[in-house]
Chains A and B, each alone.
Chain A
Amino acid sequence: MTHTYRELVLGGVLIAPIVTYAVTALLMFLLLRPLLHIVGFARLFSNASLAELSLYVAIFGLLGLFF
């Protein structure tokens, strides 16, 4: 069965699902940042920035998969 994506409608303007996922993932990532700082996420990886980008991509992918 094909996964159906629902479009967000703002004032009659249809927003593509990929944009909604990208923005939601960004907001979730920003909300997670204080927690990442507390657990010392940056110290766990040699390339912390790439790890953070990967985390964002993972959140984005999960949103696309389940919603």
Chain B
Amino acid sequence: MQMNATSTVTEAQPLVFAGFPASSWAFAIRVWLASLVALYASFWLQLESPSSAAITVAILALPTRGQGFEKAGYRLLATFIGVAASIAIAGTFSQTGGLLLAVFSMWIGLCVYAAGMLDGNRAYAAALCCITVALIAVQQIDSPLQVFPSGVARGAAIAIGILAVALVNDTLGAPDYHPVLAARLDALHHRVMDFAQDIAGGEASSAPIAAGMLRDIAALRPEITSLAAESSSGAARSAAARSAMVDLVSVLFLTRALAALPATYTAGRPADRDIGASGLIKMCRVWLRSEIIRKNADARSSLDALRAGTDPIRQWQAPLYRSRRIAAESGVRAAIYFALAAIFFVMAGWPNTEICLSLVGVIIGLGSTAPDPRGFTIQAVLAMPIACLLAGILKYFVFNGVSEFQLLAIGLAPIIIGLALLISLPNRTLSLFGRLTSVFTLVVLAPTNPQSYDPEVFLVACLFACLSSVLVFAAQLLLPSLSGDRRIRLLLGEARAELNGMNAGQIHHLAPEEAAFRDAARIEQIMTANDTSACHDQVVVEAMRCFDRAAILRRCSAELGRLAASPLADAARAAQDALTLRNGRAILAAAEALRTAAAESNRFANSALAVLVLASVAFGPSQPATGSSHRKQP
């Protein structure tokens, strides 16, 4: 789910009404108006499923234009893929009984795996591919010839919903996202620079604080991509924000490296060599300070480019880290959940259960984009009866047989506006609850022209809607979803394996700064995993140690690689061999040899020397097991 931008937008707007800021009210009214436009256009065009247009509006209800547009684009694309998959599955496997259900399960597993490998709205698109199949092919399981017409009807309704959102957001001046993002990046920049100043002033580097900052920086990644959809200068702003994030991660790494650097190198070696090592450390400290200043200037310049809407001076990629193992485990679990629900319905032998099974697919798909699928299902279990109640009140107490559009508009207002206000809250749980209730209410209410008021149909729809969420919950009780502890163990294991397999001589397709951001994205996942263990701090410290070491090794690889074609190639190769041993003393000795060779051939190799010193400290015997430095700087 998207981060809530409204809270930050409203900081500058003191106008508050009924406990909600004016921007939240404006957002809620925009959602209501877009729902009405979507419904009116769908009724006018006599679409088969006008409620899908209103549901699209509820799903695209995001406080800023860019976020909504990006999600809309992915929604359209995923619907297209989902409809194609529905036709292929229904065309190939209809009349095959259990095999058809097995293929549906496999498709759902595949989509959940893809969602696990992506982030933000891309993950939503992957989940929507499975939701579309659930809503089209599973619902038409007994009438495969209807798959194509229902797919076209759904596509048309979604297109109308997207157009309605675009029209209302553009004409009513929905806020842009880039000022919010610039403010958040600015705040992070200040935090990182305060941290750097504290370290330079001699304070200890705390791994949890640094990891918290890395988490906050990497968490912005999915939101930054939405800037590209915002305006013609969106792509430039997105590149600037990406570069600022990568530069901030670099500043944090350099600051931690500075904190880890000892005052002098005393490892029980001869005095003359200690003098040489101390000189190297001094040179390394100077280099680190100058690098921090340079990266800070880069970050500031990228932030200026973000505000101005111009291209940044240097563009970085911000690669995403995703664990294939975690994604695969989630995918297999999702396939099993769907198969269990299908087996339950086959054994029960009830009629019309395809709607319920399709809702099971919808909940599994949506849950795959949430950090905690179990928590999402619990929210769905709670939201479903409330949505049924709200839809029932609307249908039988407010409308009660009317068919005029004006009355529908007035009747929908309190519920859509109220739930949109809930969506705009900064509390993620309440915001998600509001979104789920809003979508489910429209699903159960299913506005059509003419409106159906058959109580039996309504009660069956409510029963199936509630049963679907309970079934997913029961399946997750039988086979628990991936726990936070296991996620962390897998992520840490992958970080260690990557570090151990890292070779100083190997060529990386990412720049060291970009690779450091990728590692920061892994730390973000470790930090946001729902960890219940008591040793969370040790986990964070270990993750940060892997981050530091991997970043240092990559820098060494890059700097020594530059020397490969120079007269210092032999010394650089010796340093690479020392790095392969992961021995601090050998690395320092190689650094000293490189310095001597550089002095003899009158070459400048300060960057390579500095990163080798960092490596010698990181892999040295004096490196504390906790990974955080508590030494005071001189």
* Residue ranges of A at the interface with B (Cβ–Cβ < 8 Å): 22, 33-34, 36-37, 41-43, 47-50, 52-53
| A37/B233 in contact, CB under 8 A | yes
A-B residue pairs in contact (CB < 8 Å), sample of 9: A22-B159, A36-B232, A42-B231, A47-B173, A48-B231, A48-B232, A49-B174, A52-B231, A52-B232
Q: Which of B265-320 contact A (CB under 8 A)?
A: 309
Residues of A within 8 A of B231 (CB): 42, 48-49, 52
Residues of A within 8 A of B167 (CB): 53
> Roughly how many angstroms separate A5 CA and B166 CA in the complex, as a whole number?
26
> CA A43 – CA B233 in complex, angstroms?
10
Interface of A is mostly: helix
Residues A37 and B65 in contact, CB atoms below 8 Å apart: no
Please tell me if B170 contacts chain A, counting CB pairs below 8 Å: yes
Of B169, B176, B233, chain A has the most CB atoms within 10 Å of the CB of B233
- Minimum Cβ distance to chain A for residue B76 (Å): 10
Q: How many residues of B contact A (CB 8 A)?
A: 17
Q: Contacts of B236 on A, CB cut-off 8 Å?
A: 37
Asked if B171 and A50 sit within 8 Å, CB to CB, the answer is yes
Indicate whether B235 reaches chain A with its CB closer than 8 angstroms: yes
**Bound: A53/B169 CA distance, A:** 10
Contact of A49 among B65, B235, B309 (CB under 8 A): B65
Which residues 43-89 of B have a CB within 8 angstroms of A? 65
Q: Which residues of B in the span 163-215 have a Cβ within 8 Å of any Cβ on A?
A: 166-167, 169-171, 173-174, 176
**A53 contacts B170, C-beta separation under 8 Å:** yes
**A50 contacts across to B, CB distance below 8 A:** 170-171, 173
- Taking a contact as CB atoms under 8 Å apart, the answer to whether A42 and B233 are in contact is yes
CB distance from A12 to the nearest CB of B (A): 11
Instruction: Write out the residue numbers on chain A whose beta carbons fall within 8 Å of the beta carbon of B159.
Output: 22
Using CB atoms, name the residue of chain A closest to B167.
A53
List 5 tightest A-B contacts by C-beta distance, closest first. A36-B232, A53-B170, A37-B232, A33-B232, A49-B170
Q: Give the one of B169, B170, B309 with max A CB within 10 A.
A: B170
In the assembled complex, which residues on chain B have CB atoms less than 8 Å from the CB atom of A34? Answer: 232, 235
Q: Which residues on B sit within 8 Å (CB–CB) of A52?
A: 170, 231-232
How many Å from the CB of B274 to the closest CB on chain A?
57
B120 CB to nearest A CB, Å: 20
CA distance in complex: A49, B177 (Å) = 12
CA A52 to CA B176, docked complex, whole Å: 14
Collect the chain B residues with CB atoms within 8 Å of residue A22's CB: 159
A36 contacts across to B, CB distance below 8 A: 232
- Residues in chain A near residue B65, CB distance under 8 A: 49
Bound state CA distance, A37 and B176, in angstroms? 16
Distance in Å: Cβ of A22 to nearest Cβ of chain B: 8
Once bound together, how far apart are the Cα atoms of A6 and B469, in whole Å? 47
Instruction: Give Cα A26 to B373, complex, Å.
Output: 36
Docked Cα-Cα span, A42 to B233, in Å, equals: 7
B380: min CB distance to chain A, Å? 34
- Assess whether A37 is in contact with B170, with CB atoms less than 8 Å apart: no
What are the residues of chain A within 8 A of B169 when measuring CB–CB? 49
Report yes or no: A37 in contact with B171, Cβ–Cβ below 8 A: no
CB distance from B527 to the nearest CB of A (A): 35
User: Which residue of chain B has the shortest Cβ distance to A46 in the bound complex?
Assistant: B173
| CB <8 Å contact, B235 and A53 | no
